[in-house]
Structure 1
Amino acid sequence: MKWFGKSKTADMKENNIKQIENIENAATQVKINTAKEFDLNIEKILENWEIYHAIREIISNALDEQILTNTNDISIFKDESNWWHIRDYGRGLNYHHLTQNENEEKLESDKLIGRFGVGLKDALATLYRHKIKVKIVSKHGTITLKTASKSGFDDIVTLHAEIIPTDNLNMLGTDFCLCGCNQEDIANAKALFLKFSKCNICEKTKYGEVIEKKEDFANIYINGVKVAEETNFLFSYNITSLTSQLKKALNRERTNVGRSAYTDRIKSILKECKANIVIDALINDLQQFGSGKRHDELSWNDVAMYASREMGRINASTTFVTARDLELSPSLIDEMKTKGFTPVVVPENLIEKMEDYNNGADDGETLTTSSQYLKNEQENFTPTQIKITDLTPQEKIIYDKTKQIFQIIGGKPQIVREIQIVDKIYESELYISTVGLWIPATQIILIKRTQLESIESYAGTLLHECAHARSGADDVSRSFEQELTDMIGTLSSRLLHI
């Protein structure tokens, strides 16, 4: 039977559709009536942030939640409707997370990058500015974005979050849904995380990780989030133990953190390393000083010293010299090579650090510098003392002035037990510049016989070594220079009878 041209079945179907629409409209109206608006209090945003910076913050929050709740890995994917999803499986985001308060839970953990609610709010504002649709879904509700006037101030428009209750109270985690961004935005955001970089970890320490550098620049990560780039670093690094200075340096943007903030932590990481891949690279780079190809880590004395000690441990024939040694003492370098040593050129300030280290090092742990090499040579060589009776008459005349020379500076220093005249101070005659030597262990001053050719040579060498004896300092040190200055002053005063 037909009713004005329509079948009864068609009429019933039309009624069913209207009923369904009425039910959906009613449900929508219920949700609208129960929707809440949350003022994000944002008028101005970070203008230099791009879409991928905002996505970085969302990924960072998801990774933090994964760590805090020990849940499954986050997932990042695009659905058939071209919506991108960043999904974690934690406790679910609610409107409380949109406040700009310190998160005590995150502050207490050194494993996380997030500290405040600022990053998420900046991310939402950036996405809205770039006309990216945002939908945040969790068991606590669905959050979307809109602009609205501040309550009681119609002329001030800010970004608001609209929160609609959800029917899925058993949902795990949070699903950030984004529409309008592209594959490049997602890729650029993921590139800021070590987790997605596929880099090789060379070594893990209690302070962080040393990472193989895959590009022309190195990346600096903090808890897996990239915060800086370095153009002349040997490795990339992931800092996992944060100093107070580093925590303060983590600004809202988490980018371009200054080198001064993370230098100490990278030093600590490198000085903990034992893996051959790291040690070998440091040693090889240490030897590039002369070529000018050394990386910045080896310009830090702490790291260069560590590499030097490791190099000395691996190859006991290593000797450390300066460019000045090469220029002024070529014969010394030649003798080192002849005896099987391998001279490595390093900066003079590093040699000074080595000398300080050697003063407190145990036997067998010293680093062989040119002065340490000479010291070892001296310890292994016993000079032959020349008897005073074997001196020539002219040499004896000069030697007999010893007491008078001492009187010029107020008498022989008590610490000096004996003056010995020797033919050689070192086994090799290559070191012609060494004409005198103070030996603290035996309290003896050695003076080469050639110095007895004139009173000027003998007196100058004797007083020079007395300055070493009285100051307890080596050549070219502040203490030695001061003692020598005092001695010259005393000498001048006595000669002028003042």
Structure 2
Amino acid sequence: MEEVLEAWGPADALRELIANALDEATLTETADPDIYEDDAGNWHVRDHGRGLQYEHFTQSEDEEKLAHPDEVIGKFGVGLKDAIATFHRHGIDVTIHSSHGTFTVKEAPKHGFEEIETLHVSIESPERDITGTDIILKGIEEDTVKEAKQNFIRYTEAERLVSTRFGDVYSTPPGEHASVYVTGIRVATEPNFLFSYDITNTTKSIRDALNRERSNVGRTAYTSRVKKILQACDSETVAQQLVDDLQRFTSGETHDELGWKDIQVHAVKVLNANQEVVIATTGEQANNRDLLEQARNDGYQVVTIPDRIQSEVQNETDTKGGEIRGMEAYATEYEDSFDFDIIAAAEMTPDEQRIWSLRETLFEIIGCPPEYTVQVSETLRATDDDTTRGVHIRSDRRIILRRDTLSDSETFIGTLLHELAHTRTLAPDQTREFESVLTDFLGVVGNTAINPDSYSNSSS
């Protein structure tokens, strides 16, 4: 009475009664139990199963529950007794009704040891003809009932995101810690998990770790199962949240699931299979800012990955068998997207020809490599929303401008200067080296515009 599970409170005891009621509903395929307060302020836990019998108060493991480890919560056959002792210790009266009898609790001398008071269950003829079992608790608080129910994922506000053959992934309600459940009952709280998990396909290590108190179940017991759940998950929603969390790895603010390398890789594979993404390390992004900006303009999501998984991601296919789009793959796609329709000067309008002729003056001011050809194309890329104005093709020694840059001289000169800068450096756009070359060009052209005599003198 006084020492058994002395750390338990009424909420722990009620948790056991609810677990038993849920197990009975599962085993008998009957309706979920009802948990409610009556007009007198007493709380009821009512199932609709076979009804409690006096044999259920014996201290033994439940063979029926042991035969269904992944369907029911209990297995020790002692939860009911522990709960009654705990309620008694906290001054909560328990009355149990079923078609097999009415059961109440009282203190009485232990048989053969009259000086020792122990807890007994008084068995009377059934007072009510009911289906199932109705447990009535007098003196328990509503907050205690709410606390007890929070041990069961079905009574929380967590939303199930996806089911797998190993278990289910749930959202974590705002302001609450994530938890790990086994067949619906919480066995651990994980403050730094991104999701909550309900393990429905258990392992021997998990079953061995489930102790009588259902607490202090170590992470090592369930980590492998949580990984299996995530690796079996092909949910785009879950993958997106994992990848969003992965973006914070450089600041060390990711949740614990993203510390597992195989989960990082799997999240990228799922997202690549379901969305248009480009995968890049932080280093690749720093060296290819212009190309990745173009990728974003094309509607791609740029996903940052740690260096340690780059080789694995590049050598894998996604969950649908497709190629994972890294920087090289996107660069190839980008180059292949160009579709030129070159026009000759004779095909230009008089206004376009006037602006086109400005290139000769620009070449005189800053110079143009003699081996380079500058051309105009009706279009540059075979996309409906192409915003590219010019392209520098180093391998062909060509600069190609889109025809609409000839609509005004400022656009034409600015675009041509930008592409000419690429002929002076191997550095890509948005790098310090490229910006330095472009700045030099702007200085020369600006000085010529402000001091035309200097240009005339230098030309002569």
Q: Which residue of 1 aligns with 2:31?
A: 72
Q: Structure 2 vs 1, CA of residues 60 and 430 (structure 1 numbering), >3 Å: closer, same or farther?
A: same
Q: Is the 8 A contact 2:179 2:190 kept in 1?
A: yes
Question: Out of 78, 88, 95, which is 1:128 matched to?
Answer: 88
Match of 2:247 among 278, 282, 287: 287
Distance verdict in 2 for CA 1:138–1:281, change over 3 Å: same
Measured in 1, the distance between the counterparts of 2:326 and 2:237 equals 26
Instruction: State the SS of the aligned residue for 1:202.
Output: strand
Task: Find the counterpart in structure 1 of residue 350 from structure 2.
Answer: none
Code of the residue aligned with 1:350 in structure 2: it is I
1:306 paired with 2:266, answer: yes
Whether 2:55 is the aligned partner of 1:96: answer yes
Change (3 A) 1:195 1:337: closer
Q: Helix, strand or coil for the counterpart of 1:209?
A: strand
Question: In structure 2, how many angstroms separate the alpha carbons of the residues matched to 1:141 and 1:102?
Answer: 22
* Cα gap change, 1:58 to 1:204, in 2 (>3 Å): same
> How has the CA–CA distance of structure 1 residues 87 and 308 changed in structure 2, closer, same or farther, with 3 Å as cutoff?
same
CA distance in 2, matches of 1:362, 1:95: 54
Counterpart in 2 of 1:491? none
Distance in 1 between the 2:427 and 2:248 partners? 28
Q: Give the direction of change, closer, same or farther, for the CA distance of 1:259–1:336 in structure 2 (3 Å limit).
A: farther
1:296 aligns with 256
The equivalent position to 1:207 in structure 2, one of 166, 187, 190, is 166
Deviation digits for residues 402-424 of structure 1 (CA, Å, limit 9, x no counterpart):
xxxxxxxxxxxxxxxxxxxxxxx
TM (norm. structure 2) is 0.64
| CA shift digits 1:179-238 (9 cap, x unpaired) | 111211111111222222243222222222221211331122222212222212222222
Instruction: Render the CA deviation track for 1:6-58: whole Å, top value 9, x for unaligned.
Output: xxxxxxxxxxxxxxxxxxxxxxxxxxxxxxxxxxxx66211211111101100
Deviation at 1:369, TM superposition (A): 6.0
2:279 paired residue number: 319
Paired with 2:161 and 2:319, the residues of 1 have a C-alpha distance of 31
Unaligned runs of 5+ in 1: 1-41, 381-427, 432-498
Say which of 158, 182, 192 aligns to 1:232: 192
The farther-off stretch of 234-243 and 53-62 is 234-243
Is 2:92 aligned against 1:137? no
> Residues 366-381 of structure 1 correspond to what in structure 2 (within 5 A)?
367=324
Structure 1 contact 72–89 (Cα < 8 Å) conserved: yes
Query: Given that residues 166 and 228 in structure 2 are in contact (C-alpha distance below 8 angstroms), is that contact kept between their aligned partners in structure 1?
Result: yes
- In 2, are the aligned partners of 1:290 and 1:345 still within 8 Å (CA)? no
Task: Give the structure 1 partner of residue 145 of structure 2.
Answer: 186
Judging changes above 3 Å, is the alpha-carbon distance between structure 1 residues 239 and 363 closer, same or farther for their aligned structure 2 residues?
Answer: closer
How far apart are residue 68 of structure 1 and its match? 0.7
For residues 343 and 83 of structure 1, do their structure 2 counterparts lie closer, same or farther at Cα, with a shift above 3 Å needed?
A: closer
Measured after TM superposition, the shift of residue 71 of structure 1 is: 1.4
Report the CA distance shift for 1:190/1:334 in structure 2 as closer, same or farther (over 3 A).
closer
Give, in angstroms, the shift of residue 335 of structure 1.
7.5
Q: How does 1:352-367 map to 2 (within 5 A)?
A: 353-354=312-313, 357-358=315-316, 365=322, 367=324
Further displaced range: 360-369 or 93-102? 360-369
Q: Does 1:152 align with 2:107?
A: no
Q: RMSD between aligned alpha carbons? A: 3.2
For the 8 Å contact 2:178–2:189, the answer to whether it is kept is yes
Aligned partners of 1:317 and 1:203: how far apart in 2? 22
- Cα shift at 1:366: 5.1
The amino acid that maps onto 1:308 is V
1:53-64 matches, cutoff 5 A: 53-64=12-23
Per the alignment, in what secondary structure is the counterpart of residue 192 of structure 1?
Answer: coil
For residue 337 of structure 1, what is the aligned residue in structure 2? 292
Partner residue in 1 for 2:226: 266
Query: Unaligned 5+ residue runs, structure 2?
Result: 337-424, 429-460
Deviations 1:81-106 (A, max 9, x none): 33221111111111221223221211
